[in-house]
Homo-oligomer: A and B are copies of this chain.
Amino acid sequence: MSLLVVGTVAFDAIETPFGKTDKIIGGAATYASLAASYFAPKINLVGVVGDDFPQSTIQDFNNHNIRTEGLQIIEGEKSFFWSGRYHTDMNSRDTLDTQLNVLANFDPIIPDSYQDCEFLMLGNLMPKIQLQVIERLRKRPKLIVMDTMNFWMDMAMDDLLKNISMIDVLTINDAEARQLTNEYSLVKAAKKILNMGPKYLIIKKGEHGALLFHNNEVFFAPALPLEDVFDPTGAGDTFAGGFIGYLAKTRDISFSSMKRAIIYGSAMASFCVEKFGTERIMNLDSDELNERIQEFIDLVQFDITLV
């Protein structure tokens, strides 16, 4: 039984008020699988890179128990590249450059050894590719979590809605929830989205935390207030990876377990933003993680006994 993570594995170049990077390792599946690796015992990665992608990073993945048989390396082509600049508030950014490269013809291949997939994380990708992954799994996973973005709502809404009807957990941000439903109220937006198919909806609000909706229940996980948010790139993917990684570890997909999973995802995201790229989440130890979880407990726990 395993966790399958599908998404971009890429290069990023990032500018923030704190500095800028040359090409560094990025991509939704990179962040999600690294974050999940602190919980899930076995992770299978599906993605595509060019022959410019460093073998040392693939080795890093393997060292995190991330199997890369499903990571296609296309000879003579380049990896997906994204470049962006963040504003002071770190919530808004400008895309400076996007080079699809190998992603333009990505045909996700699921190796036979991946077919025992119990948990599936569909990172942000063209909806048709996300659908191919679902269709190519011979057995429906126990839990499918899908991330997406506003770009696909503009460009491929019908495909996206089809996927949304087939999955268990959708993760989007607050602006995307509003765009998807034409509702300003997130509570109303959530009701509409849950009616589209998913049993669970996670609305990510960046520095303002995340909301988990399920039937008529709602759970809120805060973001940890940090002295500095150094680089928010990958925080949402890291959050999703920590979330599904924790569920894959415990194999408990009850609402209480999902609450815990969101706290673990939020903790992983709080590490992610402390340094550029994957630097901070590449090497965490369990003491650091436990301390961070304790900070989340201290941040929101209070004792009121109603009589």
Q: Which residues of B sit under 8 angstroms from A297, Cβ to Cβ?
A: 304, 306
Closest to A223 in B: B220
Q: How far is the CA of A222 from the CA of B227 in the complex (A)?
A: 20
- Chain B residues, Cβ within 8 Å of A300: 219-222, 300-301
Docked pose: A306 CA to B211 CA in angstroms: 23
- Distance in angstroms from A30 CB to nearest chain B CB is 27
Q: How far is B187's CA from A183's CA once the two chains are assembled, in angstroms?
A: 32
Chain B CB count within 10 A is highest, among A290, A297, A302, for A302
A256 touches B (CB below 8 Å): yes
From B88, B184, B186, B188, contact of A88 by CB (8 A) = B184
* A293 in the interface (beta carbon within 8 A): yes
Residues of chain B lying within 8 A (CB to CB) of residue A221: 300, 302
Determine the main DSSP class of A at the interface with B: mixed
In-complex Cβ contact of A226 among B187, B228, B293 (8 A): B187
Taking CB atoms, residues of chain B closer than 8 Å to A89 are 184
Query: What is the 8 Å Cβ interface bit string for chain A, positions 194-224, against chain B (1 contact, 0 not)?
Result: 0000000000010011010000011111100
Cβ distance A37 to chain B, nearest Cβ, rounded Å: 20
Q: Check A263–B304 contact: CB distance below 8 A.
A: yes
Binary contact track A79-96/B, C-beta < 8 Å → 1, others 0: 000000000110000000
Chain B residue with the shortest CB-CB distance to A228: B185
Interface: A299 (CB within 8 A): yes
Having A256-B302, A293-B306, one finds 9 other A-B pairs with CB under 8 Å, namely A185-B227, A186-B225, A187-B225, A187-B226, A208-B209, A217-B298, A222-B222, A290-B306, A300-B300
Interfacial residues, chain A to chain B (CB-CB below 8 A): 88-89, 184-188, 205, 208-209, 211, 217-222, 225-229, 256, 259-260, 263, 290, 293-294, 297-304, 306
